[in-house]
Amino acid sequence: MNTGDLYNLTKSPPIKSTQELRKISTAYFKDLEASSNDPNQKIAWCSSVGPAELLLALGFKVYYPENHTAMLGTSRLANKYIPAAIAQGYSPEICSYLTSDIGAFLHKETPFTKAYGLKEVPKPDVLAFNTNQCRDIQDWFNWYSKKLNIPIIGINSPSFVDDVKENHIHSVVTQLKDMIPVLEKISDQSFEKKKLNHIVNLSFQCSEKWQEVLETAKVAPSPITFWDSCIHMLPAVVLRGSQIAIDYYKMLKEELIERIENNEAAVPNEEFRIYWEGMPIWGKIRSLSEHLCDSQTSVVASTYCSSWIFTDLGSSTNEPFTNMAKAYTKLFINRSESSKEDYLIDKFKTFNIDGVIFHNARTCPNNSNTNYGMPKRLENRQNIPSIVIDADLNDLNVYSEEQTKTKIDAFVEQLAGV
Amino acid sequence: MLDSILYAGIDIGSSYTKVVLIDQNNDIQGSNIDFSGIKLHSAAETSLKAALPKNTNLTAVKKIVTTGFGRKIPAINQIPFANITEISCSAKAAQLFYPNKTLTIIDIGGQDTKIISMRNGKRTNFKMNRKCAAGTGTFIEELALKLRIDLGEMNTLASKSTNPEKISSYCTVFAASEVLSRIRKGAKIEDMIYGAFYSIVNRVLEIDTINTDVVLTGGLIAYNPIIADIFKEVLGKSMLLPPSPQLFVALGAALYASQLK
Ligand code: SF4
């Protein structure tokens, strides 16, 4: 299957910093491969909004399976692998990240081979999750824990939180601290608060810079789209806690500012500004970005890409556990309906949004805010029109190209007053 | 008719291609309905030619708007054209028949169903069925196939129902099996078919809330007026039925064509 260039999935004018992105991503994966072959270097698998800083502070190299699955989606390989996991007893209705990842493992294949020359995914020494995103992540990691006989640890976060209170933070801080002895034993390194503080601070700076990149889209015409951000978010996920990610976003932001100064738009002749709520449909990024670009419609902001803005990582100095607990509990996905609505309304205003596309992802209800009446409630509160697209993050069997494009076209016609 | 100027709306649906030709006064001068088949462009061209009034040839058609599932076909005979979604075309036709009205259009098509909200003649919102044939024309087509009943007979049979049955399955495939097995157990065929129409109405009403007058359009309505009766029963008000519900979208497209620059 021709998977194309995974760094260049949009029709927008190419972002020059992508060259650097390729370089740092390749270096990250090569380093993981080397670590995987080095018995003295321990590797932790971590959920994408999991306790990465703690793992880094204890000397682990951190690998994020969700990055792998996004790649399975983007390269349209997911549907090749999902059936193998279904045959293991996993329902096709549950997380297609889980099913495609386990399926790829069973097939002994990975898109890392083609993209970065890795023979296989890096072998874990420990699996660390946080249920702040969903329960599927725990089931997913549990499968590997049993299969590879690897210890699994995690944080069971309070979920559907309205106001994040002291008791929520206390519970997460306690769980983070409880992880330390287990991790120390595996890594054979002693915990140092100073080191954690330093790494949390680096993550915070990365988050700040990533936010600045995303916020360049406040300008009309926007220099960047959601589709671009889906690719350029990689360092915010896998390299947070390092200077490399901070430097990368400084560079990217400079380029985007230059675009703004030169009036260079991501979508030439931008007419409408759209907010994307929900997961990307990874295998359709190119086709949807081209389709919307042709309609002079720029998807300028999204909840998904903003999920790696962790403002609270910098909330107090020398309190790394509290900062982590706050950042990873206040996450959008983990919040009550009304907190989510307030968050979204704020985003619509910040980015001067004309319309909203909600993605109802069949296998990720956690990241789909369409099932409990939110689109209608938001329309009533804000008078910003919206549509719902029924699809999935990775399972393209539940996606109808024709129906989706007709919905989008009709929506754009509606915005244009046709 | 040799010197006439015509505007064409071509609605290329998943099952049928519908054409409406209007003149400069928005009066209908011709129409045609044909199977879409596999070659959408040639179906559209053949249908367009078939819709032409007597002694008129294709050169009379000055502008075309294509719409529907197959709307993105290349130009026909190099006649200037645009493609616009069936949602906008429905709203356009509604503006002609019901100017400045606040209403809801329910368009039940072969593979999807749309609910379009209009406020004071302006389209404000639309919703489509989820990716599932429940609540679309396919539901009835599948059932007719399973029961080996001519599609055209379904309405007549349903109207003979005296004790309508409810179908509990949501899925089109399961619903057809359910109908068959209940008929085998003694349920009357006409009561089950009525139940199938009833189920379509229920599925449609799950797509959105409806608080205004309702216009019913689409091929299913055209051939099965019993659906309008069921909507009336469920919503407690009469339905507005345009003169040719199946040509409604094509008419909207023709109206757009007449305004193309
Ligand atoms: S949040 Fe959704 S996509 Fe991510 S692991 Fe959980 S179920 Fe899967």
Give the CATH number of the domain where residue B36 resides: 3.30.420.40
Residue A157 and residue A127 in one domain: yes
Nearest to A71 by CA among A91, A100, A36, A99: A100
B21 assigned to some structural domain: yes
Query: Position B103: which residue type?
Result: L
- C-alpha of residue A48 to centroid of ligand 1, in Å: 10
Asked if A402 reaches chain B (Cβ–Cβ under 8 Å), the answer is yes
Confidence of residue B174 (pLDDT cuts 50, 70, 90): confident
- If one counts every other C-beta atom within 10 angstroms of the C-beta of residue A15, the result is 22
**Domain end call among A127, A157, A191:** A191
The answer to whether residues A231 and A165 belong to one domain is no
- Asked whether residue A158 falls in the same domain as residue A285, the answer is no
> Are A31 and A140 members of one domain?
yes
**DSSP category for residue A351:** T
- pLDDT band of residue B131 (cuts 50, 70, 90) is low
Which string of DSSP letters, residue by residue, matches A107-164?
A: HT--HHHHHH--SSPPPPSEEEEETTS-SHHHHHHHHHHHHHT--EEEE----SBSS-
Spatial separation of the C-alpha atoms in residues A252 and A330, rounded to whole Å: 27
* A54 and A169 fall within a common domain: yes
3-state secondary structure of A387: strand
Residue A17: inside a domain: yes
Do A20 and A110 lie in one domain? The reply is yes
Query: Is B221 inside a domain boundary?
Result: no
Using DSSP's 3-state secondary structure scheme, residue A310 falls into coil
The pLDDT of residue A3: 45
Q: Is residue B231 part of a domain?
A: no
B46-80: pLDDT as tens digits: 999 999 999 999 999 999 999 999 999 999 999 99
**Any B CB within 8 A of A403 CB:** yes
Residue type, B10: I
Taking the C-alpha atoms of residue B205 and residue B115, their distance in angstroms, rounded to an integer, is 9
- Quick check: is A34 in a domain? yes
Domain check: are A224 and A177 in the same one? Answer: no
Report which listed range, A202-211, B165-174, B180-189, is most confident: A202-211
Shortest CA gap B177–chain A (Å): 23
Q: Provide the number of structural domains found in chain A.
A: 2
Amino acid, single-letter form, for residue B51: A
Q: How far is A190 from chain B (nearest CA, A)?
A: 54
Do A406 and B85 lie within an 8 Å CB cutoff? Answer: yes
Nearest CA to ligand 1 atom 6: A134
Residues A41 and A156 in one domain: yes
Report the percent of chain B where pLDDT is more than 90.
75
Q: What is the pLDDT of residue B120?
A: 95
Query: For ligand 1, what atom is nearest to the CA of residue A140?
Result: 5
Residue A268 placed within a domain: yes
Which regions in chain A score pLDDT beneath 50? 1-3
Q: Which residues line the pocket of ligand 1, CB cutoff 6 A?
A: A 95, 97-98, 133-134, 136-137, 364, 366-367, 393
Q: Mean pLDDT across chain B, nearest whole number?
A: 92
pLDDT band at B136 (very low <50, low <70, confident <90, very high): confident
Domain span holding position B141? 137-201
Cα B136 to chain centroid distance, Å, stands at 10
A231: domain CATH number?
Answer: 3.40.50.11900
The answer to whether residue A401 sits within a structural domain is yes
Domain coverage including residue A364: 196-416
Q: What is the structure's pLDDT at A4?
A: 58
The CATH number of whichever domain residue A133 belongs to comes to: 3.40.50.11890
CB atoms under 10 Å from CB of A33, counted, come to 18
With 0-12 CB in 10 A as exposed, 13-18 as middle and 19+ as buried, what is A37? exposed
Helix (H) or strand (E) holding A274: strand A272-277
Rounded Cα distance, B30 and B33, in Å: 11
Q: So what's the pLDDT on residue B3?
A: 63
**Cis? peptide before A124, omega within 30° of 0:** no
pLDDT at residue A9 in the model: 66
Q: Which residues is A51 bridged to in the sheet?
A: none
A208 with A130, same domain: the answer is no
How many contacts (CB atoms, under 8 Å) link A and B? 40
The closest of A322, A329, A324, A379 to A354, measured between CA atoms, is A379
The number of domains in chain B is 2
Regarding whether A213 and A115 lie in a shared domain, the answer is: no
Q: What is the 3-state secondary structure (H, E, C) of chain B?
A: CCCCCEEEEEEECCCEEEEEEECCCCCEEEEEEEECCCCHHHHHHHHHHHHCCCCCCHHHEEEEEEECCCCCCCCCCCCCEEECCHHHHHHHHHHHHCCCCCEEEEEECCCCEEEEEEECCEEEEEEECCCCCCCCHHHHHHHHHHHCCCHHHHHHHHHCCCCCCCCCCCCHHHHHHHHHHHHHCCCCHHHHHHHHHHHHHHHHHCCCCCCCEEEEECHHHHHCCHHHHHHHHHHCCCCECCCCHHHHHHHHHHHHHHHCC
What's the average model confidence in pLDDT over B175-201? 91
Report pLDDT for A309: 97
Look at residue B90 and tell me if it is in a domain.
no
The pLDDT of residue A1 = 40
Ligand 1 centroid vs A368 CA: distance in angstroms?
10
Indicate whether A1 belongs to any domain.
no
Determine, yes or no, domain membership for B96.
no
pLDDT the model gives residue B1: 52
d(CA A283, CA B133): 24
A144 and A124: one domain?
yes
Could you give the C-alpha distances from B174 to A92, B136, B154, B171, B187, in angstroms and in order?
Answer: 19, 15, 19, 5, 17
Rounded-to-integer distance, Cα A120 and Cα A111, Å: 9
CA A162–ligand 1 middle distance (angstroms): 21
Side chain identity at residue A166, one-letter code: E
Whether residue A225 is found in the same domain as residue A185 = no
Q: Please give the ipTM for the structure prediction.
A: 0.90
Tell me the residue type at B59: T
* Ligand 1 centroid distance, CA of A112 (Å): 21
